[in-house]
Amino acid sequence: MRGRRLSLILPAILVSTLAQPTLAAEPRAAADYQAENATVSQGVVESNHTGYSGTGFVNYDNLVGSYVEWSVTAAQAGPATLTFRFANGTTANRAMDIAVNGSLVGDDVAFTGTGAWTTWQTATVSVNMVAGANTVRATAATANGGPNVDRLTVDTGGGPTPDGTPVEVNGQLSVCGVKLCNQYGNPIQLRGMSTHGLQWYSQCVNDASLNALANDWHADIVRISMYVQEGGYETDPQRFTDLVSSIIDKVTARGMYALVDWHMLDPGDPHYNLARAKTFFTAIAQRHNGKKNLLYEIANEPSGVAWSRIRSYAEELIPVIRASDPETPILVGTRAWSSLGVSDGATETEVVNNPVRASNIMYTFHFYAASHGDEYLNALSRAADRIPMFVTEFGTQTYTGDGGNNFTMSQRYLDLMAAKKISWTNWNFSDDFRSGAVFKEGVCSGGPYTGTSPLKPAGVWIRARVNTPDDFPTD
Ligand code: GCU
């Protein structure tokens, strides 16, 4: 767990069937429909240009009126987003008319050149659907015919579901004993994703990607990773405070918890950035006064310092935050890149025996499953019985956020965290080239973000594990 942190994400298959029983209304669903499985009039299924999903794509005949028609299912009546994935190797706009259930909903929708027949992009149309069966037809409107069409994605998500989002169900969180508890005082486990460093990958944290995280992955929480150095906060405090704030608002609008990560890393002594941290968290606390869905992580990965130094930092900073925000749980990093000291040859006992003198706080643990084996797992397990633990960062690969995945070891960690209700956020929700970034390179230039096709193997794996029913007891 040293060096620059890089994290990851998950997969989706028929997500709409994975209902979360404790969430009330659940109108969230996105599904892919391949063109090669649809009804084709005046076109052929081909597979001679790479990059398509499924088994091929439809090559429209070059004339007005050629079309593909999909039969799709909507979970309920209401708004839906249609996303067509296509390639157009010419420079001409191959405009198409989009009809839903026989009614024109998109006149001459642009399908402009993508640069090559092997370069696939998306075009999006907002429509209304009826509950149950619907048809979607895309008809060539020019003599050139349509582009090559790979698939249609139908997203009937559409944001928060009143009474049903993780925040609606759980409300204000607080630490109770060694657990994180919801507004009913019941222990819960939150599962979600960490962003990559916002100075590099804020483009991956947008309305569409957050819709996917909320509605397709069914994540409970987003860790907003704001580096302090390396081109982060210290270079422009106002800009980064505004950026974090706007992401908090987007996460809130989708009913998820927002974990604000003060991503100090190098220098490893948290005191180096104490004055900045006071300014930043005070600004965030004041601006988001009244929100019930926040958590603050005040020291990402201390290194090269004793636990006593981290503890004194926390005891100086926490009262300042509490002056503006008495309620939000605060997460404190641990020695040696938040390894509970293990990466320095220590153990969790230094924290257990010398806890931070403050209330409503937790301690963080980070691991990378291909680097950190039983010694780390056992330390986390022992610690979680004595002090409140939150895994704010982990990867299925090595501590560099790259390399091969160890899914076997990762699953052991996930089983432990489920059993002890240790909440987690996985590194990272970006399209960085490393194996731990859930999206394939280039995805953040326009999506789509739903389903498994945009994901690397680690993303497919973690998405499946974010996307299982939550257990949020309400009585
Ligand atoms: C080329 C290309 C086809 C495409 C066609 C077109 O033949 O290989 O995939 O459909 O042009 O202009 O429509």
Q: In a 3-state reduction of DSSP, which class is residue 417?
A: helix
d(CA 357, CA 335): 17
- Summarised one tens digit per residue, pLDDT across range 38-81 is 999 999 999 999 999 989 999 999 999 999 999 998 877 788 88
What is the whole-number distance in angstroms between the Cα of residue 332 and the centre of ligand 1? 57
Which residue did the predictor score with more confidence, 161 or 375?
375
pLDDT band at 360 (very low <50, low <70, confident <90, very high): very high
Is the minimum distance from the CB of 66 to ligand 1 under 6 angstroms?
A: no
Q: Where do we find the tokens 């080239």?
A: 433
Report whether pLDDT(173) > 90: yes
Angle subtended at Cα 322 by Cα 321 and Cα 324, rounded to the nearest 5 degrees: 75
According to the model, what pLDDT value does residue 162 have?
Answer: 38
The most distant pair of C-alpha atoms in the chain lies apart, rounded to whole Å, by 77
According to the model, what pLDDT value does residue 164 have?
Answer: 84
Q: In a 3-state reduction of DSSP, which class is residue 465?
A: helix
According to the model, what pLDDT value does residue 126 have?
Answer: 83
According to the model, what pLDDT value does residue 125 have?
Answer: 84
Length of the chain: 475
Find the mean pLDDT for residues 223-240.
98
Give the rounded distance of the alpha carbon of 289 from its chain centre. Answer: 24
Find the mean pLDDT for residues 456-462.
97
Report whether pLDDT(3) > 60: no
Task: Name which of 304, 209, 292 is nearest 264 in CA terms.
Answer: 304
Other beta carbons within 10 angstroms of residue 327's beta carbon come to 14
Q: Which residues contact 385 (CB under 8 A, 6 or more apart)?
A: 178, 420
- Catalytic center residues: 301, 393
- Phi, psi (deg, nearest 5) at residue 45: -85, 130
Q: Where do we find the tokens 């198409």?
A: 96
**Cβ atoms 26, 36 nearer than 8 A:** no
Report whether pLDDT(187) > 90: yes
Is the minimum distance from the CB of 145 to ligand 1 under 6 angstroms?
A: yes
> Mean pLDDT of all residues in the chain?
91
d(CA 100, CA 69): 10
- Residue nearest to ligand 1 atom 11, measured at CA: 89
Find the mean pLDDT for residues 235-255.
97
- Residue nearest to ligand 1 atom 8, measured at CA: 117
d(CA 325, CA 312): 20
Is the minimum distance from the CB of 62 to ligand 1 under 6 angstroms?
A: yes
Could you tell which of 93, 148, 150 is best to mutate to test the pocket of ligand 1, judged by most ligand atoms within 8 Å of the CB? 148
Is the minimum distance from the CB of 20 to ligand 1 under 6 angstroms?
A: no
Dihedral angle computed from the Cα positions of residues 227, 228, 229 and 235, in that order, rounded to the nearest 10 degrees: 110
Q: Which residues contact 372 (CB under 8 A, 6 or more apart)?
A: 1, 339, 342, 399
**Cβ atoms 152, 136 nearer than 8 A:** yes
The sign of the CA dihedral 406, 412, 415, 417 is: negative
Report whether pLDDT(8) > 50: no
pTM of this structure: 0.68
pLDDT band at 378 (very low <50, low <70, confident <90, very high): very high
d(CA 77, CA 17): 17
According to the model, what pLDDT value does residue 78 have?
Answer: 81
According to the model, what pLDDT value does residue 23 have?
Answer: 35
Task: Name which of 251, 240, 243 is nearest 292 in CA terms.
Answer: 251
According to the model, what pLDDT value does residue 29 have?
Answer: 60
Angle subtended at Cα 436 by Cα 295 and Cα 152, rounded to the nearest 5 degrees: 95
